[in-house]
Chain A
Amino acid sequence: MARIVVDPIARIEGHLRIEAQLEGNGIKDAWSSGTMFRGIEMILKDRDPREAWIWAQRICGVCTMVHALASVRAVEDALQIEVPENAQVVRNIIAGSQLLQDHVVHFYHLHALDWVDVVSALRADPGKTASLAQSISNYEKSSPTYFKGIQDRVKALVDSKQLSLFTQAYWGHPAYILPPEVNLMAVAHYLEALEWQKDFIRIHAVLGGKNPHPQTFLVGGMSTALDPNEPFAVVNNENINILRRLVAGAKKFIEQVYIPDVVAIAPFYKEWFKYGEGLGNFLCYGDYTNGSMKDPSKFLFPRGVVFNRDLSTVHPFDPAQVTEFVNHSWYEYKDGDDKGKHPWEGQTHPKYTGPKPPYEFLDVDKKYTWLKAPRYRGKPMEVGPLARMVVGYAAGQPDIKAAVDGLLKALNAPPAVLFSTLGRIAARALETQVMAKHVVDWVELLANNMNRGKVSIFNAAKWDPSSWGASSRGFGFHEAPRGALGHWVDIEGRSIKNYQAVVPTTWNGGPRDTQGQRGAYEAALINTPVAKADQPLEIMRTIHSFDPCIACAVHVVDAKGRPYTKLNIG
């Protein structure tokens, strides 16, 4: 039995490492190890809870906004604050557009190259590519001249050898099976998506402030002022029109490019409806409402749990049943590692006992990761787009049901295909489609409220700490693009006593627990075929289908060996 290791970036940045045990041509067992060392609680301890979100949004390098949102919600839950409808709507638009942008970028820029062979695209016939594109969508950029232009541009880029984006894939691997024309179409849309997302995310600049990090969150609501006739208000008629243009463009791109591409590519890779989902347990905290966060019945993504792939029953979610284990993680609990702890009782005492780098393999019988192992009612759970679509489908949420049934019909496949790597990719596309429609509606609701004079967006009743109790605890949650995100805050007096964040990638990428139950990545890899042990593209396909985020990033540029000038100080 060969052990293979996928450790893409052994540099200082946060990263993920997979060790897989091969037997024959398939994976017998797997271990997931992340360098995400959770230390946000040390940063937040003793701070004013009203400014926790400013620090919390730096937890993750990329998904900053989602932590800001979970953090204000945790404090609002602790202090029992209800925010006005406009605040919910603005948060929905900000978070919903983050989800749209994230999922498109994931599909085209972070995952497509596991399926699409850029080099093969250079051999495509632009005329045939145009016929293919026109047969699946009304998207206007589909002429032979357009695809020829893309082909020339990509050729120049590949020849220049400067593109790290394109150079680290397994080109020519036998598992790439798309015809050259499909590859060319996908590569063209890779470039279109890059251009589109750049324009689209300006929506955050309208509602979140010009700084790349949103600045308009407040415990109690948002600081985005509404006034139809005030040029200096953030939400006025002029900016509503910008929002309308951007969300309409998003809806069009998703309906005319992203969804048709998924439907066109999936049939070639139908085999991947058989692999890549291992747990069968799905958890969704639920999210997206114009009303109270305390009323899950109004959530667009229904709250609930599905066990053992049983779509006939959605179990209610009880936040008290979340625990985290550290028996395989580089932490120690002061009273022993044999039991899990609820996040409110959470402890973060790092204790690295792994091998000293450089090393060949981790000692997976002992502690082998910086990720804790979260469990729900003692069971490992998958979170994310697939969990949301599975729970939403089982709960009969009308938009989700229509989207899922539509896709299954187009692919002539039963619901069981969802439980797979390709099912996870499809689920992400489907929720993007569902979300686009709702973001459009939220912009109209905001415009309507504003023009009727309903402009309240901040509830100041509990802003003054003298209005708080002696101590309180809150759970803030958000269905982030990668899945269920929870922040737990414990407030004593006017400051934070304890703070814990359980992020989606901890649910999915975490290790085994005291009962030896695997985490979601680990379980998903079992029985996956691997054609070439030295080029484990199949492992990438399944792990990337989760959209792993171990990006609680540090950002040191690795410039060793480059010419530089040293500047004298003083």
Chain B
Amino acid sequence: MNESPVDSPAFPKTRTVVLGLGNLVHADDGVGVHAIHRLQQDPRVPPHVTLMDGGTMGIALLAHLSGTRRLIVVDAVDVGEPPGAIIRVEGPDLSGLPGKPSVHQLGFADLLITMQLLGEPPDEIVLLGVQPESTAWSADLTPKVEAALAPLADAVLNQLEAWG
């Protein structure tokens, strides 16, 4: 509870973090955050793994990701697959995603770049994504994306197991 990680200037780079991104009030956009909430109830998640609800924050997450060696990002991903399809993108294929410096927020792509800029990129990054059906205003997932939650959680666990 009060281990005060907040005061360590830098963690040793040993952490494994599962970061759920997305907006809970925009239907399937929130799938990453729903996945984190589900994993928080799942006894199979090893105790050394940090489960993080990152919402739609960009570089504000930097403080929370300090010392991350292995990072799984769970998010809605638009690749043109049918809704609910789960996809996996790894390491180098993630670099150079479209950034968005022109508006006020800095997104996921910029988060990866700033980690690099500060000299602490994770050694390994895996993006587990779900193709959304709707990102309209709603606190609920659409049925196809809801159905993808269980296999998505399994995919996270498989990745964690592969890392050992």
Would you call B93 and A164 a contact (CB within 8 A)? Answer: no
B104 touches A201 (CB 8 A): no
CA distance A101 to B62 in the complex (A): 13
Chain B hits for A359, CB < 8 A: none
B87 touches A212 (CB 8 A): no
CA distance A43 to B139 in the complex (A): 7
Kindly identify which residue among A40, A106, A165, A239 contacts B25, using a CB–CB cutoff of 8 Å. Answer: A40
Q: Which of B77-132 contact A (CB under 8 A)?
A: 77-81, 84-90, 93-110, 113-114, 116-118, 127-129, 132
Given contacts A58-B55, A165-B114, contact A565 B78 (CB under 8 A): no
Which residues of A550-570 are within 8 A (CB) of B? 550-551, 553-560, 562-567, 569-570
Mask: chain B, 58-81; 1 = CB below 8 Å from A; 0 = not: 111111101000000001111111
With A165-B114, A194-B114, A199-B63 given, is the CB distance from A113 to B9 under 8 Å?
no
Closest to B28 in A: A556
Segment from A133-141, A203-211, A326-334, A404-412 that makes contact with B:
A203-211
Judging by beta carbons under 8 Å apart, are B53 and A211 in contact? yes
User: How many residues on chain B are close to A (CB under 8 Å)?
Assistant: 79
CB of A460 closer than 8 Å to a CB of B: no
- Determine the residue in chain B with the shortest Cβ distance to A38: B137
Q: Is A185 part of the contact surface with B, judged by Cβ < 8 Å?
A: no
Cβ–Cβ contact A212 & B97, under 8 A:
no
Interface residue? A189 (CB, 8 A): no
Asked whether B142 is an interface residue with its Cβ less than 8 Å from the other chain, the reply is no
For the complex, is B5 an interface residue (Cβ under 8 Å from A)?
A: yes
- Min CB distance B5 to A, Å, is 7
Q: For the complex formed, measure the closest distance between the CB of B116 and the CB atoms of chain A, giving whole angstroms.
A: 8
Partner of B6, one of A165, A206, A540: A206
Complex Cα distance, B10 from A199, in Å, reads 9
How distant is A388 from chain B, measured CB to nearest CB, in Å?
18
Specify which of A58, A547, A564 is in contact with B88 (CB 8 Å cutoff): A564
CA distance A164 to B151 in the complex (A): 33
Q: How far is A239 from B2 in the complex, measured between Cα atoms in Å?
A: 9
Complex Cα–Cα for A564 and B5 (A): 35
**Contact status of A559 and B78, CB under 8 A, knowing A201-B63, A205-B6, A548-B104:** yes
Assess whether B62 is in contact with A106, with CB atoms less than 8 Å apart: no
Tell me which residues across on chain A come within 8 A of B54, comparing CB atoms: 212
Residue interface bits A99-117, CB-to-B below 8 A is 1, else 0: 0010001100110010000
Q: Which residues of B are found within 8 Å of A59, using beta-carbon distances?
A: 25
B residues in contact (CB < 8 Å) with A: 1-2, 4-7, 9, 21-26, 29, 32, 52-64, 66, 75-81, 84-90, 93-110, 113-114, 116-118, 127-129, 132, 135-139, 147-148, 151, 155
- Given contacts A164-B98, A194-B59, A559-B87, list 4 more A-B pairs with CB under 8 A: A39-B136, A40-B25, A199-B63, A565-B90
14 pairs, A vs B, C-beta closer than 8 Å: A13-B107, A15-B103, A58-B24, A58-B55, A162-B95, A164-B97, A164-B100, A231-B2, A548-B103, A558-B98, A560-B80, A562-B89, A565-B89, A567-B151
Pairs of residues from A and B, 9 with the lowest C-beta to C-beta distance, nearest first: A164-B99, A39-B137, A61-B56, A8-B102, A202-B6, A553-B56, A554-B29, A551-B105, A205-B6
